[in-house]
Structure 1
Amino acid sequence: MASLTSFDLEKRKRLPTLFEVLSRYTLAPVDLFSFYIYMRDQQRSVDYLDFWLDVSQHMSLCRHYVRELRRSVLIATPEGGSRPSSTILENIPDIPVEAGPSGYHAASNEKDADSRLSAFLRSENPAQPSPPESGHSEKHTPEERPPRPSFMNSTPETRYDSSNSPGHTVTRTDIRRSAEKILYTYLIPDSEREIVLPPEMLTSIIDMVERDARDDPEVFDQAKDYVFQAMERDAFPGFLQAKALGNLVPLSILARLAFGLISFLGAFWASFYVVLTDKSRTTRCWVILPFAVASYFITTYQYKIDPFMALLGFSEYTFMNWQKIQEPYVGSLLTQRALVTLAYAFLFAAALSILFIFVPGTYL
């Protein structure tokens, strides 16, 4: 991940894009970790995000392989000598590790570098198609399936350390296995975590991997773009609304609704009791307390935000688990919405309390 400086964060006075989230250019609560939790718990379509991440990791693996190969060729080539592979490798410049969909906000030299990388991998002697590994037929329940991204087991302090370089020398066999793993995990019909793609796109990918023995990144470019656009259209707007305009998860929101309705029931019962028994106005002032509690929880349900937690700088990512808000613009948005929510809760509670305090009392 590119380093996030305070200047970069202050300069971005807007909500992030999906590309920025996937590239880990954002901080909590609109970071990749939070988006993964949202896709898993609320959208129930985390397999699409995992596919995108695995294809990006495959691209990083290919780049690391070519980088190591170029380094070994340069070391092995005597000074003044020349080798065809050395010339080809010199034409592949270094590319940033993080990559969005092909052609998405990318400079032309980066797109050319991607094409040259794939062309070089195709120019090497292709590996023979290998039969599906046992992992293709294995089925794992959600409980048995290991967590996919490394940041799911990370701490907030180490979550943004996203080095994609493997801890070993990458071989062509590793690239081949990576491509087959993506194919057999997400794309083959009835696979472990099958995602829905257009039939012609799916057939093309299967043919390229199994029949043509291709494992270069261009094999998955169309599918990666398709999944990116699907997430951008169907999931990302809801994610921004949930995390940038609120700080509660659905279960917490429903719990607040239930507690608010129960509090309102108690508030109205107490209010009618003090009115129908003609209690003094001093005694009636006690109805302010249940109305304040009920108004607070109902408004937090309506606006999907806990004002006090937002003012303290916290956002809920799973039920009753909170994380510190680190994205400056999101923090300012939530602070403004928290103040507005508190104002509405105060006005609502004040109106109902005044009504029952000053209404004439009577005995039945």
Structure 2
Amino acid sequence: MAASAPRVATPPTSSPTPQPDYTRNRLPTLFEVLSRRTLPPVDLFSFYIYMRDQQRSVDYLDFWLDVAQHMSLCRHYVRELRRSVLIGTPDAERSSRHSSGILEALGDMTHPVAGPSMYQTEKERDQDAQMSAFLREDRGELVSSSGRRTPNLGTPRGANADSISPPHTVARQDIRASAEKILYTFLLPGAEREITLPGSITQDVTTAIEELGRDDPEVFDVAKDYVFQAMERDAFPGFLRMKAFGNLIPPTMVLRLIVGLVAMFGGFWAAFVLIFLNEDRMTRLWLILPFTVGVYCLASYQYCLDPVLALVGLSEYTPFNFLRVREPYVRKLLIRRAFVVLAVTVLVDAALCVLFILVPGKRL
């Protein structure tokens, strides 16, 4: 099965990329995963694959990521206007004096897109609230004072030698299109990838966008937080169990169960045959092979962990495809559990081998 990366695009901003926390001595939170502050196998890519293949609810994650992308789009648009106000370009005429004051007070807005109660400071919360208020006041402004339509997202402006605008810019209609895309893709009844939300939430978002003409990020706040909490409650604990305490996925775990049972059956069958044929103990030493394979596979299934893969630092994300474990705390957890699984395997394997090799034979 080919793995697909999260389809969210890189936000069109110059803000620094979130950096992983290499000193974290605990399991990460869902917000840290979603804001790309973790490393494999508990990173956003792995969570996306888990939601797609195990939970079968990747639409909820895509909704959250698309709303986060919408927030980034809005921030980029407001940052451009703020830059125009601060340097006094003609684009500043698009804003009233009151709006210009809001823009100047907003700051750079480089903090990550937040989940419920995830702002680090009140300043971050206030910045996003002021940005939404500005966008509500600014809605409908799609044409600049010079009569030119602002280019769409990603339209190069470097061809204009006299322009001092950024090389890529966001138009007001791009924000509107982004909000409508989220509504029509995830929220309306019968939508292409409809997610299940309380009817009141869906109705409020639909009314705000279609009837009130809103497209500011606050439109999606309640829906985004509901989805975040649902993922945190229903999906994320299972993700941590699978990726932080194990390194296998269900399809290959079932395969190991089958191989382990077959190997154990073969080992017991061969052991009784050799005993009742009164074969010598040197011949019965071959029983080590099926018993070792069987116990190893069954222990891997029981603990959801392949100890050899854990010791070499690999974790499975799709059948027989592996990525390297880079999250320091998770790597330590997996190594400790790998030694436990190996100890169990050695003890059970040794007990079975001693029992069936040393027991006296009797030819029937």
1:169 — aligned with what?
Answer: 169
The residue type equivalent to 1:26 in the other structure is T
**Structure 1 CA distance, aligned partners of 2:167 and 2:117?**
30
- Give 1:1-364 correspondences, 5 Å limit: 1-4=17-20, 8-9=21-22, 11-76=23-88, 83-126=97-140, 168-364=168-364
Counterpart of 2:322 in 1: which secondary structure?
A: strand
Does the CA-based 8 Å contact 2:277-2:362 persist in structure 1? yes
**Structure 2 CA distance, aligned partners of 1:77 and 1:267?**
81
Query: How far off its partner does 1:100 sit?
Result: 2.0
**Structure 1 CA distance, aligned partners of 2:45 and 2:360?**
56
Query: How far off its partner does 1:65 sit?
Result: 0.1
Query: How far off its partner does 1:284 sit?
Result: 1.4
Does the CA-based 8 Å contact 1:126-1:214 persist in structure 2? no
| Closer/same/farther in 2, CA of residues 125 and 348 from structure 1, 3 Å limit | closer
**Structure 2 CA distance, aligned partners of 1:347 and 1:184?**
58
Does the CA-based 8 Å contact 1:299-1:341 persist in structure 2? yes
| Closer/same/farther in 2, CA of residues 97 and 232 from structure 1, 3 Å limit | same
**Structure 2 CA distance, aligned partners of 1:185 and 1:125?**
22
Query: How far off its partner does 1:106 sit?
Result: 3.1
Q: Aligned residues, how many?
A: 321
Structure 2: segments with no counterpart, 5+ residues: 1-16, 143-165
Does the CA-based 8 Å contact 1:101-1:225 persist in structure 2? yes
Query: How far off its partner does 1:94 sit?
Result: 2.1
Does the CA-based 8 Å contact 1:95-1:110 persist in structure 2? yes
| Closer/same/farther in 2, CA of residues 125 and 182 from structure 1, 3 Å limit | closer
Does the CA-based 8 Å contact 1:103-1:111 persist in structure 2? no
Give TM-score, length-normalised by structure 2.
0.85
Structure 1: segments with no counterpart, 5+ residues: 129-165
Q: Deviations over 1:101-138 (max 9, x none)?
A: 1432431111111110000001114379xxxxxxxxxx
Higher relative contact order (CA 8 A, sep 6+): 1
Give TM-score, length-normalised by structure 1.
0.85
Q: Deviations over 1:310-364 (max 9, x none)?
A: 1000000000000011001100100011111011111111111111112121111
The residue type equivalent to 2:176 in the other structure is R
Does the CA-based 8 Å contact 1:36-1:46 persist in structure 2? yes
**Structure 1 CA distance, aligned partners of 2:105 and 2:341?**
58
**Structure 2 CA distance, aligned partners of 1:183 and 1:251?**
35
The residue type equivalent to 1:253 in the other structure is M
Counterpart of 2:315 in 1: which secondary structure?
A: strand
Runs ≥4 residues deviating over 4 A = none
2:159 — aligned with what?
Answer: none
| Closer/same/farther in 2, CA of residues 286 and 77 from structure 1, 3 Å limit | closer
